[in-house]
Chain A
């Protein structure tokens, strides 16, 4: 245990500034999201002043188009948007890895069937597909989470299947098969430990895509609905303020970018680290 801690410290010491920046931002966003009611100066939907107040000492980031405190909304947005995105990613990941591993290990018809379905799903641009489905099912958070999770799970499937197959054809898996081991034992003991690193990185990247996806839908008015504080819909709602020279919509937009950039920086470093250790 001690040596692991030591290793972690050693690895952390090699982290480039971008990775440190990323980890810092993620920590701040997570904490403020978790403790939103404690951290935020006002209530989530509380109107506290005149609409469209500029950045100032009373309202650090100004007020929005109906006079709510932007900082408060951004903090609550961290809780809502990030929470939903995380849930969606986790769902997409579970679907993608389970089916991806099955396709990789079983091969044959299972693989053919699953891969063809995924091919079709991936042949349709995801945003368009989501719009189509949401027209039918109506826009609700539940529908959106399911639709995005299914669509994103196709990419997780592809990756898991590919790395799973790379490991699956190695001799030690063949040895386990010839020993008579069962499917789950092989997946659990022989394959998963060897694909954990790329999967972890993929989780980070997928989270970014899901997050941007949800934000885009919300921005288009088809995702998370007001008055729930959410970064994407905040941009949409306060968009008109920009023509008065107010940067209000840029605040939540920048928050989105800040989080995804941070995750990307950390993942990038992680990937670099993982590939570097192999050499």
Chain B
């Protein structure tokens, strides 16, 4: 047990360190801004006074390390500063958008994970069958397609031609849960198609790898039925790789959401990020990147820790 605690603590420490470095990179990004950045933001007509005032507002007159800790401290207290573009507090801007993005991601995950695992396991068990081969080709095609292809095909069919679903995912805080499910069906399906393929392929590979191990042959030679071999001998050992696959793909989902949000003009964090990048609204870009990075790192960390916890060799040390 001590060994597990130690390994988990190690991973956590490593995760924190990564977060620290990532926040540093995001902070330093502003430092690296070329000199004419204030000008670019304020426009060519800005007077030297307004430039100086702007620099002061950014805190550019203080030493960098002080400003970093200041910035970090503010973020921890959820004081995220104001947007360059419209001067609104970022906290206000971000709150509902984070919720929207998480809602969409969770929606897609709920559809994608069970289907992907089922198909992945089936494809592995019926390896080289027609079923496996067609699933494989389909998955390869899905992985290779940009998100917007699936999105526009779905829009063309279900929104424009059939008129069943909205092409634009407009939601506001008053939208009810079930309305949201309806409005977000197309974006969620788009995301599902893309992540599902990855998840399925990885699950299939993990199971195939497992089924080749000598203890599975032993189980067969003990005269067990296929069902029991899978449930009792393969699954407990497949847990670690499968958990890993899910977490990695959830992380991917959170990021993949960016393009899908733009296609459906869905007011999520990704759309905000893209919008802010084109406006060069630095504080908003920084915070959005940080939120994405934290989620991504946290999910990968979770995958790591869960696979340590599900390893029998570590759970029952000598």
Contacts and interface: CB of A to CB of B under 8 A. Distances in A.
Interface of A: 18, 119-120, 123-125, 127-129, 131-137, 208, 212, 215-216, 219-222, 232, 235, 239, 242-245, 247, 249-250, 253-254, 256-257, 260-261, 263-265, 268
A129 B292 CA distance: 10
Main secondary structure of the interface of B (DSSP, over half): helix
Contacts of B34: 136-137
Interface of B: 18, 21-22, 25-26, 29-30, 32-34, 137, 140-141, 143-149, 152-153, 155-156, 160-161, 167, 251, 254-255, 258-259, 262-263, 273-274, 276-278, 280, 282, 285-286, 289, 292-293, 296-297, 300
Nearest to A258: B144
Contacts of A232: 146
Contacts of B292: 125, 128
A220 B280 contact: no
A18 B255 contact: no
Nearest to B292: A128
A256 B273 CA distance: 24
A86 to B, nearest CB: 16
B22 A245 contact: no
A247 B25 contact: no
A24 B259 CA distance: 30
Given A219-B259, A247-B156, A256 B167 contact: no
Contacts of A129: 289
A33 B141 CA distance: 22
Given A242-B160, A250-B153, A124 B293 contact: yes
Contacts of A135: 29, 276-277, 280, 282, 285
Contact of A123 (B22, B144, B273, B278): B22
Given A257-B141, A257-B145, A235 B293 contact: no
Given A120-B22, A136-B29, A242-B156, A256 B255 contact: no
A134 to B, nearest CB: 7
Given A133-B29, A235-B152, A243-B167, A222 B278 contact: yes
Given A219-B262, A242-B155, 12 more contacts: A124-B22, A125-B292, A128-B296, A131-B274, A136-B34, A219-B146, A220-B262, A244-B160, A247-B156, A250-B152, A257-B141, A257-B149
A222 B277 contact: yes
Contacts of B255: 125, 127-128
- Residue with the highest number of chain B CB atoms closer than 10 Å, among A18, A124, A257, A265: A124
A216 B293 contact: no
B141 A222 contact: no
A261 B156 contact: no
A215 B149 CA distance: 11
A232 B149 CA distance: 10
Nearest to A254: B149
B147 A216 contact: yes
A229 to B, nearest CB: 17
A133 B280 CA distance: 11
B21 A131 contact: no
A203 to B, nearest CB: 16
Contact of B289 (A128, A235, A253): A128
